[in-house]
Amino acid sequence: MALPSGPASEAPNHPLAVRMGVIAGVSHNMVIGTVMGSFGLMLASAEQRLGISGEQAAAGIPLVLVGSSVLAPFVGVLIAKVSLRLLMLIGALLTVAGYLTLAFTQSYALYLIAYGLLFGPAMSLAGSIGPATLVTRWFNRNRGLALGMVHLPVVIAVVPWTLERALSVTSPSTIYLVIGLICAVLMLPLVLLAVDHPPGNAETVAPEPSEKRTADGSLSMVQLLARPRFWALSLAAVASMTSSVLLGSLLVPMGMSWGFTRPEAALLQSIMSLVGIAGSILFGWVADRIGGGRALALIGFDCAVLWVLLLQHPPFWLAALIIGLIGMHGAGAIPTLGRGLSDAFGQASYSRGFGLVTLVGLPFIAFAVVGSARVFSVTGSYDGAIAAISAFFAVAIVLGLYGASGAKAQAPVSAVA
């Protein structure tokens, strides 16, 4: 059978695309922004209320990350087969249920359940894969920019500042309850307005003969895993994800090892997050102009240089500039990956592909964080870990360029006609 034909990227966006983008942005921000933004500030209150140690309380976020990463491939498959609106609604309900559980529980077991079994699946359904898939399906033009806008970390930038002041005037239980109610009021009505597909359902399909695709024009998980281009795009993006999580976890001790004070090192972390807001939009726009794979290669080149500069242990002002630029590039990984996957394998394959990338990245991220801490404990320096991340980015340049090669996904023949 003939390959699909027609330039998918030139098709205009449906008038409802902007609405879908708003729904996706609110869902992403309310789930990831509130969970990740509130966790650190609520740790002390969790210790006191549940009578647990700091290490026990800190287990919440690892459970969220492991739960969402392990479930991500299955969520990607479900999204391709089941109503996206229904799955995002389930994610919204799980988010609300998680905060209600935290508001009323006195049990450490329920505390862990809230993070692992409620917030974990919610992250995949309504925080990452669901919203990104909704945008990918509805945007043909400026898809990378739309993904960048949706992933702007607006809520996560506001929540810590707000909660710090709220804790001085109200109880942690009330705060959890209010967050849950806000999530319910904002997410549930909006998610119900989501529409799974644009009218006509003319998603771009994988550039393969129809007998090598599934019925909806997508590639199965096994087929994606058998494509070298998928691995190239995945690992190029995982380099940025690993970099971001590593700095988010270890930047304070890393900065102190360079001779900075704890407040100075914490300021570096804030600079990285704030500058990252610009990176999400910038690299989404870049991906629309040069393609997702080439944008990932550009991120790899820039970050390889920036991480090498950190080996020089620069003064604070220069370290702040470098860390800010690394944060900007790291925030650009998701929209560039989204553009790259949909360009290479079609909008119909996006949810499966993004879910698999999330799982692929988990061992790299875990090894980087644990390994970097180990390197410091043995050598008294993070230089070995910094050099390894820089080398990973150098490899990502080649991987991104390879991922950009080959046939591009196009609209189905019937849609072109």
Q: Does 99 map to a domain?
A: yes
Least confident range of 5-14, 127-136, 166-175: 5-14
pTM of the model as a whole: 0.79
Computed over every residue of the chain, the mean pLDDT equals: 86
Q: Please give the residue that has the higher pLDDT: either 285 or 57.
A: 285
Residue at a domain's end among 164, 192, 220: 192
Cα–Cα distance for residue pair 402/230, rounded to 1 Å:
10
CATH of the domain at 170: 1.20.1250.20
Percent of the chain at pLDDT exceeding 70: 91
**Are 184 and 221 found together in one domain?**
no
Give the model confidence (pLDDT) of 221-249 as tens digits. 888 888 899 999 999 999 998 998 888 77
Instruction: Give the chain's domain count.
Output: 2
What is the mean pLDDT of the segment spanning 42-71? 84
Write out the two tokens for 347: 């909008």
Q: Does 7 map to a domain?
A: no
Contact 336, 283 (CB under 8 A): yes
Q: Please give the residue that has the higher pLDDT: either 416 or 36.
A: 36
Q: Please give the residue that has the higher pLDDT: either 272 or 194.
A: 194
**Are 130 and 251 found together in one domain?**
no
**Are 160 and 243 found together in one domain?**
no
> In three state form, how does the secondary structure of 166-228 look?
HCCCCCHHHHHHHHHHHHHHHHHHHHHCCCCCCCCCCCCECCCCHHHCCCCCCCCHHHHHCCH
Cα–Cα distance for residue pair 207/345, rounded to 1 Å:
7
**Are 298 and 350 found together in one domain?**
yes
**Are 81 and 147 found together in one domain?**
yes
Q: Does 201 map to a domain?
A: no
**Per-residue model confidence (pLDDT) at position 402:** 94
Strand partners, 205: 410
Cα–Cα distance for residue pair 322/313, rounded to 1 Å:
11
Give the model confidence (pLDDT) of 19-38 as tens digits. 999 999 999 999 998 998 78
Give the model confidence (pLDDT) of 176-207 as tens digits. 999 999 999 999 999 999 999 888 656 666 66
Q: Does 10 map to a domain?
A: no
**Are 181 and 307 found together in one domain?**
no
Q: Does 237 map to a domain?
A: yes
Cα angle value 43/49/53 (rounded, 5°): 55
Cα–Cα distance for residue pair 298/206, rounded to 1 Å:
25
Q: Does 327 map to a domain?
A: yes
Residue at a domain's end among 192, 219, 252: 192
Cα–Cα distance for residue pair 303/397, rounded to 1 Å:
10
Residue type, 342: S
Write out the two tokens for 409: 């996904």
**Are 281 and 315 found together in one domain?**
yes
Cα–Cα distance for residue pair 411/273, rounded to 1 Å:
37
**Per-residue model confidence (pLDDT) at position 410:** 66
**Are 98 and 168 found together in one domain?**
yes
**Of 160, 182, 179, 196, whose CA–CA distance to 23 is shortest?**
196
**Are 136 and 107 found together in one domain?**
yes
**Are 217 and 132 found together in one domain?**
no
**Are 106 and 161 found together in one domain?**
yes
**Are 282 and 402 found together in one domain?**
yes
Going by C-beta distance under 8 Å and a sequence separation of 6 or more, which residues neighbour residue 315? none
Helix, strand, or coil (residue 410): strand
Cα angle value 237/243/247 (rounded, 5°): 150
Does an H or E element contain 308, and which?
Answer: helix 292-310
Domain span at residue 114? 17-192
Give the model confidence (pLDDT) of 103-132 as tens digits. 999 999 999 999 999 999 999 999 999 999
**Per-residue model confidence (pLDDT) at position 375:** 87
Q: Does 261 map to a domain?
A: yes
Q: Does 204 map to a domain?
A: no
Write out the two tokens for 283: 């690299």
Cα–Cα distance for residue pair 324/305, rounded to 1 Å:
14
410 φ, ψ (degrees, to nearest 5):
-140, 170
